[in-house]
């Protein structure tokens, strides 16, 4: 999954793809580099960020998302607002990546159910504005797993087919360094939920903390290491900015040590977001 931030303020590439032409070109590049999914986002969720309303998110994605949908990759929309998701689905998106796991907008599950799209449910402690203010867990892996089990149940109760859901521990979303490391080390605990696991460590602060690298764009080595560790522990999808390098790393890891059949295939049914 290649990250496409049509934002002025994302933590690692804010402003770089804010105009439509550079966003479309970046999507083309990521598809050519081997991305299966392009995740289009119009709101930064970096720690401390301010919310962006639905109208502004739609204004940002409108000249970009339909073009990306025409490229042949599966398009995912990174939003917590059903109004934005509805627009994106109409324009060709097949997956909704909701970092609030359906908590921001009570209509999100009904929309995902009615339009039969894939749905990413991610763990976040609190909200982006405050999530990095002293996050604390007794047992981060169990708490994140239990939270995601609860959101999966809520999505199902809202009519969403569990086979269309994907879970994500939310690396960096209200987590200390040791929490992020424990979650990467224990992907199996999330895989036990029986749906694919998405992992998004790309360029994040925990890599900078370990490596002493303050510039997010210089964190590719750490991104690859985190993706390979998560893969070894059972992750199925990887949300990254640097597609070519991560695709190559995953291909070499696969050649050395093939993933388990359970990791390569969906547990049952069609892939999340597959057309009806």
User: What is the distance between the alpha carbons of residues 249 and 126, in angstroms, rounded to a whole number?
Assistant: 33
Using CA atoms, how far residue 179 sits from 14, 101, 172, 209, in Å, is 26, 19, 9, 13
* String of contacts with ligand HH2 for each residue 152-191, x by CB under 6 A: ----------------x-xx--------------------
Q: Which residue in the shown chain puts its C-beta closest to ligand HH2?
A: 200
Q: According to the binding rule CB under 6 A, does residue 76 interact with ligand HH2? A: no
Q: Is 80 in the site for ligand HH2 (CB under 6 A)?
A: no
Query: Using CA atoms, how far apart are residues 141 and 197, in angstroms rounded to an integer?
Result: 14
Q: Give the active site residues.
A: 204, 239
Site string for ligand HH2, 228-247 (x = CB under 6 A): -----------x--------
Residue 144 engages ligand HH2 in binding (rule: CB under 6 A): no
Q: What's the CA gap between 237 and 235, in Å, rounded?
A: 6
Q: Is 26 in the site for ligand HH2 (CB under 6 A)?
A: no
Spatial neighbors of 153 by CB under 8 A, at least 6 apart, are none
Taking the complex as a whole, the smallest distance from the CB of residue 3 to ligand HH2 amounts, in Å, to 5
- Among the residue ranges 40-48, 133-141, 183-191, 251-259, the one whose residues contact ligand HH2 (CB under 6 A): 40-48
Q: How many CA atoms lie within 13 A of 62 on its CB side?
A: 8
Nearer to ligand HH2 (CB atom), residue 217 or residue 255: 217
Q: Does residue 222 bind ligand HH2 (CB under 6 A)?
A: no
Shortest distance (Å) from residue 138 CB to ligand HH2? 23
Q: Is 79 in the site for ligand HH2 (CB under 6 A)?
A: no
Burial level of 264, CB count in 10 A (0-12/13-18/19+)?
Answer: exposed
Choosing from 40, 42, 91, 99, the residue that interacts with ligand HH2 (CB under 6 A) is 99
Least separation, in Å, of the C-beta of 22 and ligand HH2?
15
- Answer yes or no whether residue 57 interacts with ligand HH2 by CB under 6 A: no
With helix as H, strand as E and coil as C, how does 188-242 read? HHHHCCCCCEEECCCCCHHHHHHHCCCCHHHCHHHHHHHHHHHHHCCCCEECECC
Residues 6+ apart with CB under 8 A from 28: 71
Is 147 a binding residue for ligand HH2 by CB under 6 A? The answer is: no
Q: How far is the CB of 71 from ligand HH2 (least distance, A)?
A: 20
For residue 206, state whether it binds ligand HH2 (rule: CB under 6 A): no
Question: At a CB cut-off of 8 Å and minimum separation 6, what does 235 contact?
Answer: 187, 191, 197, 198, 199, 227, 263
Measured distance between the N- and C-terminal CA atoms of the chain, rounded to whole angstroms: 21
Tell me which residues touch ligand HH2 (CB under 6 A).
3, 5, 7, 10-12, 41, 44-46, 78, 97, 99, 120, 122, 168, 170-171, 198, 200, 239
């Amino acid at each position: 999954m290649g990250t496409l931030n049509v934002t002025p303020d994302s933590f690692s590439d804010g402003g770089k793809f804010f105009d439509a032409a550079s966003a479309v070109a970046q999507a083309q590049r990521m598809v050519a580099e081997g991305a299966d999914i392009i995740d289009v986002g119009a709101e930064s969720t970096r720690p401390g960020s301010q919310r962006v309303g639905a109208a502004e998110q739609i204004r940002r994605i409108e000249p970009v998302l339909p073009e990306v949908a025409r490229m042949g990759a599966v398009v995912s929309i990174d939003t917590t607002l059903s109004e934005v998701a509805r627009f994106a689905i109409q324009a060709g998106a097949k997956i909704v990546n909701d970092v609030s796991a359906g908590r921001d907008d009570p209509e999100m599950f009904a929309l995902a159910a009615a339009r039969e799209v894939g749905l990413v449910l991610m763990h976040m402690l609190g909200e982006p504005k405050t999530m990095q203010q002293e996050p604390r867990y007794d047992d981060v892996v169990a708490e994140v797993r239990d939270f995601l089990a609860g959101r999966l149940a809520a999505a199902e109760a809202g009519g969403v087919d569990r086979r269309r859901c994907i879970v994500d521990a939310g690396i960096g979303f209200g987590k200390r360094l040791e929490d992020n490391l424990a979650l990467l080390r224990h992907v199996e605990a999330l895989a036990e939920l029986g749906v694919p696991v998405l992992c998004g460590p790309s360029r994040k602060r925990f890599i900078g903390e370990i490596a002493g690298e303050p510039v997010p764009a210089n964190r590719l080595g750490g991104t690859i290491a985190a993706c390979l560790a998560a893969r070894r522990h059972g992750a199925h999808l990887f949300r990254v900015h640097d597609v070519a390098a991560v695709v190559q790393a995953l291909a070499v890891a696969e050649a050395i040590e093939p993933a388990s059949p359970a990791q390569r295939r969906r547990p049952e049914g069609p892939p999340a977001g597959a057309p009806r």
